Structure 1
Amino acid sequence: MPQPHWPAFEWEALRVMTGYGLMLATLGSIDSLLTSLVADNITRTQHACFLRARLRCNGRSP
């Protein structure tokens, strides 16, 4: 039976994967926000505000 071992690791590969991961996370966030805006327009409702923006939507200052 073969012995388990760690795969070869290159720091350059980690740097490239991190860049692609951040790009995908950013695009996923933008897609989610745009999808919620489309759903709001279709249903004629307003999406929920978050954190400080929520307080401003409710008429209170942070």
Structure 2
Amino acid sequence: MTRLYPATGMHLCVMPAEMQAVLEGAPDYRQPDPGEGPVWLQFASGNDAAELVVYRARTGDLYMAAPAL
């Protein structure tokens, strides 16, 4: 992932509710416990792939690492 986005260009943001619903509907997704280490996910479709780092804060909210705009 650092080849695409340097760490200095990333930030943690609250995961949108629509995206969280898609994750929770995936049969192999496991919810991280609050404060547990992040979960690294990879989505693939044909030749396209995306990687996502998900973290659950102690408050229960899901955060993701995303490019800073």
Under a length normalisation based on structure 2, what TM-score does the superposition of the two structures give? 0.22
Higher strand share: 2
Under a length normalisation based on structure 1, what TM-score does the superposition of the two structures give? 0.24
Larger radius of gyration: 1
